[in-house]
Amino acid sequence: MSNALISLILGGGAGTRLFPLTRSRSKPAVSVAGKYRLVDIPISNCLNADMNRIFVLTQYNSASLNKHIKNTYHFSHFSKAFVDILAAEQTPDNPTWYQGTADAVRQCLHHIENYDFEYILILSGDQLYQMDFRDMLQHHIESEAQISIATIPVNAKDASDFGILKTDANNYITSFIEKPKGDDRFGWESEVSGEMQAEGRVYLASMGIYIFNRDTLFNELMTRQFHATDFGKEIIPDSINTHKVVSYQYEGYWTDIGNIPAFFEANLELTDDVPRFNLFDSTRTIFSRARMLPPAKISGTTLNKTMIAEGSIILAKRLERCVVGIRTRIGKDTVITNSYIMGNDFYQTLDEINRSIATGKPLIGIGERCEINNTIIDKNCSIGNDVKILGGTHLQDGDFEKYTIKEGIVVIKKGAFLPDGFELK
């Protein structure tokens, strides 16, 4: 059944709410859990469901994302599986870049129309979840749907952040409202499980995950709604009145990593004793680039609720509720709490280390006797000795040369140098 399906993963726009992490990369290329990229999540969900014909649509700041996909996803020469990039392109017929999610798919249809498939799965490249798409496809087929939308029950407070769908007794979607607030939510409750009702999660939010019948998608994008540019705001609301649109209700873990606080908390939640997003589930493997790195080396460090990726050298005094990325170096007597350290893309050579010491520049990594809390440290940063970065709500939001503060979370920008004794507290 999965052979009848093509998957399209949308590479994301400018990602301004995740700035400065998106200053030099697209949202799907942002590092998650210290060793993956966000785009690995939807690709892995597809591969785990044996849906292995995947296109990734890229446009904004796409060099890092393109390189990651090219270096990561390789299949046997005797397999029809692929993960291919469809980069935005200007043509004589269409001189514009992608104008929205629907427009991105429309501009790529001529690349996929010669493939044999009945269904198209459309995914976002910047969400964290583990879903079996085979169940969604089976539900789509059994419902004789033309369009299926993955929905997740949310409470009244969260409903104001999403497009909310109303369903009838047969799970057909009958109406749609964008980000309802206050009394606008009245009457938009849908049928959910007893567990969801007990939690007050009675509003069905669109997850931005769709299955279209092939003919339906081509007709909508190329004929009936030719000028529509966005699925969530135009294609879906209009199709509810003209097509058989069905809700596929999902009650597992899912988060839309749209801003710095959501991204920060999603990563730190991975350190919980029983995290809601389970990286250790062998039936739902998260795939990523295979790196030939040595095991992490730790000396004299007290660790609590901390994940450490391969290739790291840790001499710190204490790490608590931290995610530590690949090739991270942390010096002696340093204490880091509630922080995500993305790691480094390379090791410094001995010559580079000696030159840095001779010129008084900090080495790549985190120095000795530092104190860091409530912080994201982007890749390839050089943080000197005796540095204090104490994030919290006492700090005002702002964007500065070497760091950004958002809702009390300090984000040290990629490749930043912080000298010995630097303080932000």
pLDDT tens per residue, range 301-317: 999 999 999 999 999 99
In this prediction, residues 15-35 reach a mean pLDDT of 90
DSSP-derived pairing of the beta strands 31-32 and 254-256: unpaired
Instruction: Name which residue leads in pLDDT, 11 or 216.
Output: 216
Q: Where are the alpha helices (DSSP H) in 113-151?
A: 133-142
Confidence of residue 182 (pLDDT cuts 50, 70, 90): confident
Radius of gyration of the chain (CA): 23
Please say if the pLDDT value at position 133 is more than 70: yes
How many helices (H) and strands (E) would you count in the chain?
Answer: 10, 28
Alpha carbon distance 414, 83 (integer Å) = 28
Confidence of residue 83 (pLDDT cuts 50, 70, 90): very high
Report pLDDT for 24.
87
N-to-C CA span, the chain? 56
Report pLDDT for 92.
59
Using alpha carbons, select from 420, 419, 395 the residue that is nearest to residue 411.
Answer: 395
Please say if the pLDDT value at position 95 is more than 70: no
In this prediction, residues 286-299 reach a mean pLDDT of 95
In this prediction, residues 66-75 reach a mean pLDDT of 92
Report pLDDT for 84.
92
Say which range, 96-110, 119-133, 199-213, 404-418, has the weakest mean pLDDT.
96-110
pTM of the model: 0.93
CB 356, CB 362: distance < 8 Å = yes
In this prediction, residues 97-101 reach a mean pLDDT of 74
To the nearest whole percent, how much of the chain has pLDDT over 90? 68
Please say if the pLDDT value at position 90 is more than 70: no
- Amino acid identity at 255: T
In this prediction, residues 361-367 reach a mean pLDDT of 94
Report pLDDT for 339.
98
Using alpha carbons, select from 169, 178, 192, 133 the residue that is nearest to residue 246.
Answer: 169
CB 397, CB 361: distance < 8 Å = no
Query: Which segment, 154-168, 186-200, 211-225, 298-312, is predicted with the most confidence on average?
Result: 298-312
Confidence of residue 282 (pLDDT cuts 50, 70, 90): confident
Residue span(s) of the chain under CATH 2.160.10.10 come to: 291-424
Please say if the pLDDT value at position 1 is more than 70: no
To the nearest whole percent, how much of the chain has pLDDT over 70? 96
- Amino acid identity at 248: Y
Which is the CATH superfamily of the domain at 2-271? Spore Coat Polysaccharide Biosynthesis Protein SpsA; Chain A (3.90.550.10)
Residue span(s) of the chain under CATH 3.90.550.10 come to: 2-271
Instruction: Name which residue leads in pLDDT, 344 or 225.
Output: 344
- Amino acid identity at 172: Y
In this prediction, residues 198-202 reach a mean pLDDT of 91
Report pLDDT for 369.
97
Q: What is the pLDDT of residues 384-415, one digit of tens each?
A: 999 999 999 999 999 999 999 999 999 999 99
Residues 6+ apart with CB under 8 A from 44: 284, 285, 286, 287
Please say if the pLDDT value at position 300 is more than 70: yes
Report pLDDT for 77.
86
Please say if the pLDDT value at position 89 is more than 70: no
Report pLDDT for 177.
87
Please say if the pLDDT value at position 61 is more than 80: no
Confidence of residue 161 (pLDDT cuts 50, 70, 90): confident
Instruction: Name which residue leads in pLDDT, 50 or 230.
Output: 50
CATH topology of domain 291-424: UDP N-Acetylglucosamine Acyltransferase; domain 1 (2.160.10)
Report pLDDT for 97.
61
Average pLDDT over the chain reads: 91
Compute the half-sphere exposure of residue 398: CA atoms within 13 Å on the CB side of its CA. 8
Edge to edge, the sheet with strand 297-298 lists 297-298, 313-314, 329-330, 365-366, 382-383, 417-418
Neighbour tally for 129: CB within 10 Å? 20
CB 136, CB 211: distance < 8 Å = yes
Using alpha carbons, select from 292, 293, 113 the residue that is nearest to residue 214.
Answer: 113
Alpha carbon distance 353, 129 (integer Å) = 40
CB 174, CB 164: distance < 8 Å = no
Tokens read off for 18: 């995740």
Q: Please tell me the chain's helix, strand, coil percentages from 3-state DSSP, rounded to the nearest 5.
A: 25, 30, 45
